[in-house]
């Protein structure tokens, strides 16, 4: 049926505009295909979300981004304070990622002013969204009009229109206030909070969750981009009630000041602790080798590969990491692994026991019980 429709369209356009008939047919056919794509709602913020959306727009026009509004740094933070609006930066990045427009328009929206004037540090897109919000009186309408300008394939909504602040309680009991300040203290995060504690979600965001066939978290900053959305009233509850497939895309690398030394399961645990049981069905993790050059590049920024781990058994409160030494040569060298398999018991970063060669499950459990005591 689609093939027949495509042939009819091609015949009609060939008569009307013979020089560009092939390109127009392809565009119409592509639009029809994208219009019938799945309803996917993506929850997050920051660079990771916009990267995901850039690829997703090639598969469906029915993608919706629910974006965190806790950002208090840079251009977004300044505009937030001066104009009493939600920070526009992450919203802008998502609009540009979903845009189907001329490259020059994309460059214009991402252009950042330099120099020493009051405009220095601001991006044109942030100023455009701010001006549109002032004109329309509503951030949702401002995003809708901005979407028209950029010919956006999909929709972008803030999680809430309330002016919220993010804070974090660390494992040592200290409290750090401000999204931009949390990663700077380099302490293990226990829980994050928003203030005010109860804020209304954007109705369009709730509608997008209810209509979704798939709900995707991340990739992105766990505590400052993804989890803040779940703290807005009703958002986590609506996600858990949804029959959509819920997928968490775990970061490939750790993030300094947020997820230092985190394994994949520790990311998921934090997500569940803040959103509740049933918030995620599947976790997408990287199990491919990361080149030595790439690891060295990220190591200079304090970022390291997130190791994929599994719980040993419900009765044991610790994790087991399965590491392929061929794919993690540096790690094998660091821990002096010379024989396969090798079992290492590590506590607080120190090896407390080493066992090489094959052994029975009973011996494995006996070793675990001995060291837990």
Q: Which tokens in the block code for residue 25?
A: 């047919």
Is residue 167 within 8 Å of 193, Cβ to Cβ? yes
pLDDT of residue 224: 95
pLDDT of residue 373: 60
DSSP 214: E
Strand partners of residue 193: 167
State how far the Cα of 146 lies from the Cα of 17, in Å rounded to an integer: 31
State how far the Cα of 128 lies from the Cα of 141, in Å rounded to an integer: 13
Range of lowest pLDDT (107-121, 171-185, 195-209, 224-238) = 107-121
Does residue 2 have a pLDDT over 60?
no
Is residue 121 within 8 Å of 130, Cβ to Cβ? no
Q: How confident is the model at residue 339 (pLDDT cuts 50, 70, 90)?
A: confident
Q: Which helix (H) or strand (E) holds 284?
A: strand 282-284
Does residue 318 have a pLDDT over 60?
no
Arithmetic mean of pLDDT, 211-221: 94
Is residue 90 within 8 Å of 254, Cβ to Cβ? no
Place of tokens 């028209």: 148
Q: For the segment 64-80, what is each residue's pLDDT rounded down to a tens digit?
A: 999 999 988 888 888 98
pLDDT of residue 91: 93
Arithmetic mean of pLDDT, 213-217: 95
pLDDT of residue 140: 92
pLDDT of residue 12: 46
Cis peptide before 154 (omega within 30 of 0): no
Q: Which tokens in the block code for residue 66?
A: 């629910």
pLDDT of residue 9: 45
pLDDT of residue 360: 64
Cα Dmax for the chain: 83
Q: How confident is the model at residue 149 (pLDDT cuts 50, 70, 90)?
A: confident
State how far the Cα of 75 lies from the Cα of 186, in Å rounded to an integer: 24
Q: Which helix (H) or strand (E) holds 2?
A: helix 2-16
List the one residue out of 315, 289, 334, 287 whose CA is nearest residue 344.
334
Residue 108, Cα to own-chain centre: how many angstroms? 25
Q: Which helix (H) or strand (E) holds 215?
A: strand 214-217
Q: Which tokens in the block code for residue 230?
A: 């779940």
Q: Which tokens in the block code for residue 131?
A: 């001006």
Q: For the segment 123-138, what is each residue's pLDDT rounded down to a tens digit?
A: 898 999 999 999 998 8
Is residue 174 within 8 Å of 189, Cβ to Cβ? no
Q: Output the DSSP codes for 265-283.
A: HHHHHHHHHHH-TTS-SEE
pLDDT of residue 361: 59
pLDDT of residue 321: 67
Is residue 231 within 8 Å of 274, Cβ to Cβ? yes
pLDDT of residue 313: 46
State how far the Cα of 248 lies from the Cα of 42, in Å rounded to an integer: 10
Arithmetic mean of pLDDT, 283-293: 88
Does residue 277 have a pLDDT over 60?
yes
- Read off φ and ψ for residue 214, nearest 5 degrees: -145, 140
Q: Which tokens in the block code for residue 120?
A: 């220095």
CA dihedral 236, 240, 246, 247 (to 10 degrees): 50
Does residue 28 have a pLDDT over 80?
no
Instruction: Work out the burial of residue 15: count CB atoms within 10 Å of its CB; fewer than 13 is exposed, 13-18 middle, 19 or more buried.
Output: exposed
Q: For the segment 254-276, what is each residue's pLDDT rounded down to a tens digit?
A: 999 999 989 888 899 999 999 99
Where in the chain are the domains? 37-319, 335-373
Q: How confident is the model at residue 7 (pLDDT cuts 50, 70, 90)?
A: low
Q: Is the sign of the CA dihedral 22, 27, 32, 37 positive or negative?
A: positive
Does residue 45 have a pLDDT over 60?
yes
Is residue 157 within 8 Å of 202, Cβ to Cβ? yes
**Residues above pLDDT 70, as percent of the chain:** 85
State how far the Cα of 152 lies from the Cα of 105, in Å rounded to an integer: 12
Arithmetic mean of pLDDT, 349-367: 75
Q: Which helix (H) or strand (E) holds 145?
A: helix 139-150
Does residue 4 have a pLDDT over 60?
no
Arithmetic mean of pLDDT, 323-335: 77
Is residue 79 within 8 Å of 129, Cβ to Cβ? no
3-state SS class at 296: helix
Q: Which CATH superfamily is domain 37-319 in?
A: CofD-like domains (3.40.50.10680)
């Amino acid at each position: 049926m689609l093939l027949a429709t495509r042939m009819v369209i091609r015949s009609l356009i060939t008569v009307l505009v013979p020089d560009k008939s092939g390109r127009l047919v392809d565009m119409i056919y592509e639009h029809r295909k994208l219009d019938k794509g799945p309803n996917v709602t993506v929850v997050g913020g920051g660079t990771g979300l916009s990267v995901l959306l850039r690829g997703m727009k090639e598969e469906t026009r029915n993608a919706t981004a629910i974006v965190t509004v806790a950002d208090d740094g840079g251009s977004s933070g300044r505009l937030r304070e001066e104009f009493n609006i939600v920070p526009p930066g992450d919203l802008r990045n998502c609009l540009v990622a979903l845009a189907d427009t001329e490259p020059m328009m994309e460059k214009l929206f991402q252009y950042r002013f330099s120099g020493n004037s009051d405009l220095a540090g601001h991006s044109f897109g942030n100023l455009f969204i701010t001006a549109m919000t002032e004109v329309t009186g509503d951030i949702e309408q401002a995003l809708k009009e901005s979407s028209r300008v950029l010919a956006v394939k999909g929709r972008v909504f803030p999680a809430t229109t309330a002016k919220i602040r993010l804070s974090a309680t660390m494992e040592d009991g200290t409290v750090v206030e401000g999204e931009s300040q949390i990663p700077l203290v380099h302490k293990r995060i226990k829980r994050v909070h928003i203030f005010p504690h109860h804020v209304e979600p954007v109705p369009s965001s709730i509608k997008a969750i209810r209509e979704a066939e798939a709900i995707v978290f991340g990739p992105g900053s766990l505590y400052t981009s993804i989890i803040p959305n779940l703290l807005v009233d009703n958002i986590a509850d609506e996600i858990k009630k949804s029959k959509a497939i819920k997928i968490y895309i775990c970061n490939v690398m750790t993030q300094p000041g947020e997820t230092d030394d985190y394994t994949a399961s520790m990311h998921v645990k934090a997500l569940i602790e803040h959103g509740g049981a049933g918030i995620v069905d599947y976790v997408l993790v990287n199990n491919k080798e990361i080149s030595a050059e790439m690891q060295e590049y990220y190591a200079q920024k304090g970022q390291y590969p997130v190791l994929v781990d599994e719980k040993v058994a419900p009765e044991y409160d610790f994790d087991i990491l399965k590491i392929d030494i061929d794919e993690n040569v540096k790690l094998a060298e660091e821990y002096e692994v010379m024989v396969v398999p090798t079992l290492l018991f590590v506590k607080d970063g120190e090896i407390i026991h080493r066992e090489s060669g094959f052994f029975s499950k009973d011996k494995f459990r006996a070793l675990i019980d001995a060291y837990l005591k």
